Structure 1
Amino acid sequence: MPRLHRLFPFLNWPRPDAALLRSEALAGLTVGLMVIPQGVAYAALAGMPLVTGIYASMLPALIAVLFSSSVRLSVGPTALTCLLVSASLTGLAEPGSARWIELAVWLALLSGGLQVVLGFARFGWLLNLVNSPVLMAFTQGAAVLIIGSQLPAMLGFSDGWAALLTQPRLHWPTLAFGVGAAAVLMLARRWRPGFPSVLLLVVGTAGLSYWTGFQASGGALIGALPQGLPALYAPGWPGWETLRQLLLPTLVITLVSFLETA
């Protein structure tokens, strides 16, 4: 029986009472609504169709909550990993294309499989070799990369840094939304860290965008996303040469995932 409980940690969950169910339902609703814009943003970082970020936030979280022994680990797409996916596949396919999606699935399967192997082999001790300055540099470097990748879009340059450097014309409504949202998030984190500020911000800015005619002024909107659950999908065989090209990115993403866990 102890071995069974170790393999299936959810067997150790306490029997919930009415108060616990109410609090968990509220927490689940809040986090679930916040995951929608977060997943869409991360999918954009990875060059994937935007709805795939929502899909990637569902099944991994369900599996993790059932089989993970950690009660503090957040599972789902992360900004730095999505940037690595985009960088790894650049030059191999067009972002958002069927080939890009196929290679991204293979990259996920390879990285996930390698992490499972490392987990069964109990290689978690590798994290003990990473000292604090390296981990701090990792987190700060990740923040710089994410800010750098999103700054042109926040200023209204759809072509990225090339347009920012060659055609320095700001789209003022986009800049106002971006800077304003960042300011609200930073202030809320300092003064009301437990308040679901992201949820309120997404709903508020969506209403403000509609009321002010943001799209009509040239602003970019996410638009409609596909509804319902995706069909089962099996990627085609990419070829040994392509797998060889994905080998190094697989190792990097696996290491980064270990560090993100820490």
Structure 2
Amino acid sequence: MSRASGLALVSAPRRNPRRATSRGTGELILHACRRGASRVLVCIGGSATNDGGAGMAQALGVRLLSDRGVELAPGGEALLRLARVDMTELDPAVRSAEFVAATDVDNPLVGPSGASAVYGPQKGASAEDVILLDRALGHFAAVVHRDLGIDVRDIRGAGAAGGMGAGLVAFLGARLRPGVELVMEAVNLRERIAAADLVITGEGAFDEQSLHGKAPEGVLRTARELGVPALVLCGQARVDVPGVRIASLAGRFGLEAATERSRPLLEALTAEVAAEYRKDSGLASSPA
């Protein structure tokens, strides 16, 4: 999704989640289905949008209509005018496909932990925009519930990518799955962790979001379940995890140095942590 409707595609001065659309992601899905894809994995995140997947749905043939029967304009703000959802013209190739959505967050669609409140500001939303967009997504959810019989408001991950999680569930019947689980299954990570003496994971900024569906949370949870010690290497640490050693570049070397010399300092920090682990576990140091 980030390559079709992503934040990186829009310069900071032009970011406007009231108007940004997920239509490009829908066009990619349509192209894949019409070329024979029967199972589609949609990786959602990093979006510039806050439209609940409305643009995506419109690209696939779904009609989102105002009370005058007019197709909605692009963007999250337009959802306030949604009066009816018409699925009759959904493309047949899309209708017959199976969809799985991979997400690295578990936010609900609306509310203080929802798409607009948590991610809207980084997409250019002001405080007033956040309130408006949250109300728009709430209205969108109510109409979807009435017309399609699907309640997407509080589904874990529905708020991912500006509500794209909700849109994929509502319009395409997608199953939302944490991306980390899909990757862990693909590489048999659980079996690898079970055979390990120590698990190391990391992230640039290790914070509350890291513990809600992102890769470090999945790795740490699995290590805890299997009783394998774990540690986190990161640029900055903004949260603690009971029983887990967290080593940050900023904490060890200072933020400025960590920013300017991250690679060599990460190597140095890793060596320090490894030496401490060998000492604490009673392992002999390597002759190298």
> Which category of TM-score, normalised to the shorter sequence, fits these structures?
under 0.3
Question: Which of 1 and 2 has higher RCO (CA within 8 Å, sep 6+)?
Answer: 1
Q: Which structure: larger Rg?
A: 2
Query: What TM-score do you get using the length of structure 1 for normalisation?
Result: 0.23
Q: More helix per residue: 1 or 2? A: 1
Query: What TM-score do you get using the length of structure 2 for normalisation?
Result: 0.21
